[in-house]
Amino acid sequence: MFKRLPGDEARNLVSTTPDTAVVFRPAVVKTPAILTIVILAWRMLAGLVRTIWRHPIAATIPVALGATWYVYGWPMAASLLGTVILILASWAYIDRASFNRLIGYRLLAWWRLTWIYRRHWQPVLIVSGLGRHIRGRDYLPRLGKVTCTSWADQVTVRMLKGQPVKDWTDRTDHLAQGFGATSCRVTLTQAGHLTLTFPRSDPLSEPLPALSIPTEPTVGPIEIGTREDGRPWRLKVHGTHVLVAGATGAGKGSIIWSVIRSLLPAASVGLVELWALDPKLMELSYGRALFGTRYAATPEECADLLDEAVTVMQKRAARFAGLQRSHTPTIDAPFVLVLVDEVAFLTAYQSDRQLRQRISCALATLTTQGRAVGVGVLAALQDPRKEVMNIRNLFPDKIALRLDESEQVDMVLGDGARDRGALADRISPVPERGAGVGYVRLEASPEPIRVRAAYVSDADIHAMVNAYTPYGSAA
């Protein structure tokens, strides 16, 4: 009545009654005790060597204290320990930055590696689906080094063989919640190795005042704010085109006016020309005097100004043909930056079809041919959908400020940008916390960078108008 089992499986059956489940006796392999002892000793030795290699200072301190206690007694060891603690406390009080860089962040990294990541590594990865449970054994990606900065933990991970990066980018929410962080960002450092960034605080939560106007003329990269890691945010405008997308009140004006502010010294000596298209008549009109005759507000004026920029571009291309492949700003051939406050108003929302096609063709021509001859476009818009802005892929560098929907993040920054940590849809709508905060994706790097632009107030713009006068025309 029973099906014959192959090989010797039949003898391992515990019960063969019809109303009892078939149970197989597990195979037992007896390991010699000496082999088990050797394996455990080897693991302890390897762990000790690895600990000393990774934390030489932390390993030296207890050894030195123990040796002092053994040779001179516990009073001398206690005195030595108190002296070390006093020196470290004084160092932290006098120069907190250097103490944190050399001691503080290293101790914090060791603590978070031990108490946060190593302790929760297995359950978080199993629950999130990044580990594998096969035949009673857990296969987990290997936890590597933890590095702490002033605002985040950077955790290195060695993935399982054959595991795709997409498995990690799809589970950033699981990782963030599992390790008690607000978000998680995944960066592929090399084949098979990732870096997970878990922010501990938000260094961009406070508004930034307007930056000082540069003392020397420059065409970039120009400083317009700060990055999340504390370094200055320098935006390249010469030799590229920049698209800024963000909802109402997201801070697009902060980026535009910070760029203008940084380029004013170069514009005053004739190395830069700022051409402004302001169809809303609200943002750029406040500093209209800075643009001179290169200011347009009505759709007809904007179309004429764009056609003039195309003419300048074509004349330069004919002049530079066969002589140079890249542009260097000079007084005879300055860098022309075309600023468009709300580009969708001139393209998708323009009722005059002929005028709309004319503007769209001019913008497409500038963004495909302009940067090699020193004509750049900085365009801002609210709605990044394809039917609204069908030439968004012609902008090499893109900035996503606060957006209304998660799908819009990939529309602006490219596919997979949100999975890599560009959470532009989660930026706070409160102006004090979120205005000017965004994510940048540059042509040279697919990884989004979180930044905040400095806020240029009306008083700052008024001071700029008083200090600088209009400048000549491009040739």
| Distance, CA of 313 to CA of 298 (rounded, Å) | 23
Count of H helices and E strands in the chain? 15, 16
Helices (H), 129-229: 165-169, 172-178
- In sequence order, which residues have a C-beta less than 8 Å from that of residue 188 and are 6 or more positions away? 165, 194
Assess contact for 272 and 337: CB atoms under 8 A: yes
Closest C-alpha to 374, from 335, 340, 337, 339:
335
Assess contact for 424 and 409: CB atoms under 8 A: yes
* Beta-carbon count within 10 A of 282 CB: 11
* Beta-carbon count within 10 A of 263 CB: 25
* Beta-carbon count within 10 A of 219 CB: 23
372 assigned ligand-binding residue: no
CA atoms within 13 A on the CB side of 300: 0
Pairing of β 397-400 and β 242-245 = parallel
322 assigned ligand-binding residue: no
Burial call 14-40: b when 16+ CB within 10 Å, e when fewer: eeeeeeeeeeeeeeeeeeeeeeeeeee
- In sequence order, which residues have a C-beta less than 8 Å from that of residue 464 and are 6 or more positions away? 213, 260, 261, 264, 287, 290
| Distance, CA of 273 to CA of 220 (rounded, Å) | 14
Assess contact for 146 and 117: CB atoms under 8 A: yes
Beta strands in 295-396 (DSSP E): 295-296, 335-340, 375-381
Q: In what order do the strands lie in the sheet with 152-158?
A: 142-148, 152-158, 193-199, 185-190
246 assigned ligand-binding residue: yes
Token pair listed for 382: 């609210």
253 assigned ligand-binding residue: yes
252 assigned ligand-binding residue: yes
136 assigned ligand-binding residue: no
192 assigned ligand-binding residue: no
Assess contact for 418 and 410: CB atoms under 8 A: yes
| Distance, CA of 42 to CA of 302 (rounded, Å) | 75
Token pair listed for 82: 């108190």
- Provide the residue type at 102 as one letter: L
**Which segments are annotated as binding site?**
246-253
**Which segments are annotated as binding site for ATP?**
246-253
